[in-house]
Amino acid sequence: MADERESPVTDTEPPAPGGPGASGSPGSLGAHSVVYLVGTALQGLGVLLVLPFATRVLGATQFGRVATGLVVVQMVGTIAAAGLPQVILREHHRGAEGPRVARALAGTMVLLAVALGVLGLAVALVLSAAGHADLSQWLPLVVASVALTTVVSGQTLMRARLQPWGFLALAVVATVGAQLTGVLAARADRSAATYLTAYASVVVLAAVLALVLGRPLPPTAERERVRSGIRLAAPLLPQAVAMLGLLSGDVLLAGWLVGTAAAGEYQVALQLGNMPFVLAVALFNAWGPLVLSRPLADRWAWTARTGTALTTVVGAGAAGVALLGPWLVAVMADASFDRAAIVAALGVVSTVAVSYMVYQGSSLAVLDIERTGHLAWAALVALAVLAGTAWLLTSATGLGLVGVAVAKALAYVVLMAATTWSAVRHSPLRWPGRLVLVAVVSVVLALVGAFLPAEGVGLWLRAGLAVAVAGAALALAPGVVRSLRG
């Protein structure tokens, strides 16, 4: 696949991890994970920081338009990325010319976003001329979609180079900064168009920062490798769309299947249950580039060892969140909400993080052997399981929002199992038996937290188990650190 001609890296090129001067140590994993945790949390939860202000400034109708617009930006950004971020991470660590290839692929990603933006603008102009679209709202969405994809390309290069502070800076500007600017602008003119225009302007500034930090190259800089990278990334586009469905499709299903009120309660459960998931994403953001930068001789043995350690961390977090559910829900929802159902749902949702952590490790192996089609069909099958199981559990059993949560957890188990099967069959990755033990114990404890009574003796049992989980985590911490340093 690789272009065999010489393509030396210039003196200004950041060293590839695993090479001289690289920071591929477990110290990097620990330090970077903290920064990635903050950046990932801001990207995943940044909207929550300004949500109370946005709803009050705009009102229900205008905020509804803003919320819909932001979902469109995310969806268009996913399509424009075309699966390239994963390939950029992989190619950065393949040979001396890898960093240059990664920059060329990032440039390809930006050009694809611009092309899609031009197409979106043309559609907006036609619809506006026909009286079917408000150009003042469409134009900011098109601009923000192109800019956000450019930001993601820069963040991917920051991850590949093990530069978490650049990742964090882009996350802060493109999420909290952009949303807060939208709120401030809307105070003067309470319209969705004003909010989205201000939001888009800040995302554009973040895109400029991404270009400065990432320094992408045109695709022609590494023509053959870019072509190979695009072929490798092609199956990742449906995979990315399916993963987007797995991430947020349960919210839509909750609204359709159990009603608006229950969907609001599910949102509370989801936001709380997603805390260990955000931890898993942050850890992967630091861990993934380190895996792909390891020498082939010990890459997958190191991956299995460190992946088990990270799953232990995530599993302890999932169990802790589930066991502490009643207290967390009491803070987030008043007594008019069905707190018992929310506690049960958040406990089930928290198990998703364990499956997701194992899936991510297996997906790296599948990506490395260039079988990205397997990632696509695994995600599509999991999405079908989510939809089918949610419908079955809510209509046939009346489980309500808990049924939707169970469907989400089962879908991620299917995703993990299918991807791990592909990795074990086609790659050298072999997960140790203790990973199964860690995963099972974590999930069982989380399910205990989901369904243990939230009053009386149940509360005492929850508190005792939570203390036991914290104690076990502290006892296992030295072993986890040794695994990461091994």
Walking along the chain (486 residues) 10 residues at a time, the average pLDDT comes out as 35 38 48 65 60 62 64 68 78 84 90 85 79 73 87 88 83 83 82 83 93 91 83 75 80 79 76 87 81 86 93 95 92 77 94 96 90 87 95 85 94 97 93 95 95 89 94 86 69
Dihedral sign for Cα 23, 108, 283, 444, please.
negative
> pLDDT value at position 15?
39
**Residue 249 falls in which region: left (phi positive, over 0), alpha (psi -120 to 50) or beta:** alpha
Cβ atoms of 416 and 362 closer than 8 Å: yes
Q: Enumerate residues 6+ apart whose C-beta is below 8 A from 431.
A: 304, 307, 308, 358, 361, 362, 420, 424
pTM for the full model?
0.71
**Distance (Å, whole) CA 314 – CA 308:** 10
> pLDDT value at position 320?
95
Cα-based distances in Å from 178 to 44, 47, 53, 148, 291: 14, 10, 14, 11, 33
> pLDDT value at position 91?
84
> pLDDT value at position 71?
62
Cα-based distances in Å from 157 to 15, 96, 154, 231, 356: 12, 16, 5, 20, 23
Give the chain's length. 486
Q: Which residue has the tokens 């009286």?
A: 131
> pLDDT value at position 437?
95
Q: Which residue has the tokens 């993601």?
A: 152
Q: Enumerate residues 6+ apart whose C-beta is below 8 A from 302.
A: 291, 294, 486
> pLDDT value at position 465?
94
**CA dihedral defined by 360, 374, 372, 434, rounded to 10 degrees?**
30
> pLDDT value at position 404?
93
Nearest Cα to Cα of residue 473 among 303, 319, 283: 319
> pLDDT value at position 260?
66
Dihedral sign for Cα 360, 288, 111, 45, please.
positive
